[in-house]
A and B are shown apart, each in its own frame.
Chain A
């Protein structure tokens, strides 16, 4: 069992999220305090813990946010150092709409 067998193709995160229904709010419910993120070195942490690939490291060193991909779990808010993240739920009826759950 030592070799990885890809019997079922999972696809990229973008392809996976294409299976998920969203009601996209034009306003972002996520704000990164770039200065605090840089000072705390929080970018790589946010990138790797988010299951939805919301965060990305930009060439200029800032943290990119794709709020429309957010699955609203709250993991980023739980792990982010103080002051790095403002995160609340999207407006009522907006955001992820699980059909399976």
Chain B
């Protein structure tokens, strides 16, 4: 064997797996198709970073992270109004719970840590296929080169062509996928801090639903980086296709929305990008192990959208920890059978990532509810308008105001109660 372990893909899942194993003294090859680690990687991106502290103590101080998120904003954006919940809490920064990140910078650092721990990092190599013998995976093929290992770790992202080739994944239903379209907009640090009301080093994370996607399932996001904003939309593919709308058109609609555009004033576009997002939740997480093979991170479908939080990177890290732990045992026992690799699945299920996937198993179905994107924003705005719009007509008590807005929305109390209950159960 050329290596104990070959990891394909230098994102968070791949780097955490490689780092843990290399730190344990195993020979590890980390292969990446980008010219540099991070070159192909793009996320929203808020990283719920407590899990990273377990792998890299002092992570938030040492890693190139952007801002510590102390302000979370959830907004219902309508054509003429924006209703938001603004949650600003210093406790979120002590200890640091979440940071904004730019993956080209973060992943390059992660790959450096892997190299420092003794892993061989090979960027610029696209793995074309897997080597296997009688159902036992034993390496990779890239061009004419073959490299062998006891275990191959697929950390090759949401499109994972290698997992498809291995028969672990079929064509995913469109409702399990969304496309994220994102602009990184440069602004001076001081302007960001003034505009978003955050202290130096601290930042805000906006999650917006409604008119920003013209009712297409998904939403808009805006995260503050050190000297830029990450802004964009996530659009569920089934809905995007069905509604006949375009991805660029919806990105621009959000960025230019009168409720959002002032936040970007005088900004300069630094980069434009896009990436697929797994939206299927627990239903997408299956077939994660074969003899000599495990699947981690986005390739394993490990993302969670609960409306309030959109997670993927922390789950990727947790899957990397679980994979490395199972592979360490397999290397010690020299057993790379299905049972040995299933040790990864067991560890993943025992981790917070596996448990959270199970807890939120019903979240994707709930998030498919079109009323979330079309009806509840206007309803909230109309209720509030009933209170604030003092047009010299006599005031009504709160109950008739709410009842009137509800009646005008056409939603009905029963449907509202049913959606509310479904939400409480799913989220």
Instruction: Give chain A's interface residues, CB within 8 Å of chain B.
Output: 1-8, 10-11, 13, 16-17, 19-20, 23, 45, 47-53, 71-75, 77-79, 88-101
Cβ of A1 to closest chain B Cβ, rounded Å = 4
B416 within 8 A of A: no
Give A74 to B228 CA distance when docked, in angstroms: 26
Measured CB to CB, the nearest residue on chain B to A3 is B258
| CB <8 Å contact, B104 and A92 | no
Knowing A93-B35, A101-B41 are in contact, say whether A49-B246 is a contact too (CB < 8 A).
yes
Query: What residues on B are CB-neighbors of A7 within 8 Å?
Result: 256, 261-262, 264-266
B112 / chain A contacts, CB cutoff of 8 Å: none
A-B contact count (CB 8 A): 164
List A contacts of B81 (CB < 8 A).
1
Name the interface residues of B264-294: CB closer than 8 Å to any CB of A.
264-267, 269-276
The answer to whether B184 touches A100 (Cβ under 8 A) is yes
Q: What is the distance, in angstroms, from B108's C-beta to the closest C-beta of chain A?
A: 9
**Chain B residues with CB under 8 A of A73:** 179, 274-276
Q: How far is the CA of A52 from the CA of B79 in the complex (A)?
A: 27
Contact A98 B104 (CB under 8 A): yes
Q: Which A residues are in CB contact (< 8 Å) with B107?
A: 101
Known contacts A2-B79, A78-B174, A101-B273, A93 near B261 by CB under 8 Å = no
CB < 8 Å neighbour of A96 from B39, B185, B248, B266? B39
Chain A residues touching B, majority SS: loop
- The residue on A at minimum CB distance from B176 is A78
Q: Is the pair B161, A101 in contact by a Cβ cutoff of 8 Å?
A: no
Instruction: Tell yes or no: B105 within 8 A of A by CB.
Output: yes
Which residue in chain A gives the minimum CB-CB distance to B225?
A100
Contact B247 A51 (CB under 8 A): yes
- The interface residues of chain A lying within 8 Å CB-to-CB of B183 are 10, 16
Pick the most buried of A8, A88, A94: most chain B CB atoms within 10 A of its CB: A8
Q: Does B347 interact with chain A (Cβ within 8 Å)?
A: no
Confirm or deny: B102 has a beta carbon within 8 angstroms of a beta carbon on chain A.
yes
CB-defined contacts of A4 to chain B, threshold 8 Å: 256-258
A80 to B29, CA, bound (A): 35
Given contacts A11-B269, A79-B241, A98-B103, contact A89 B246 (CB under 8 A): no
Distance between Cα atoms of A98 and B357 in the complex (Å): 30
Are the C-beta atoms of B248 and A53 separated by less than 8 Å?
yes
* A8 CB contacts on chain B under 8 angstroms: 185, 255-256, 261, 264-267, 269
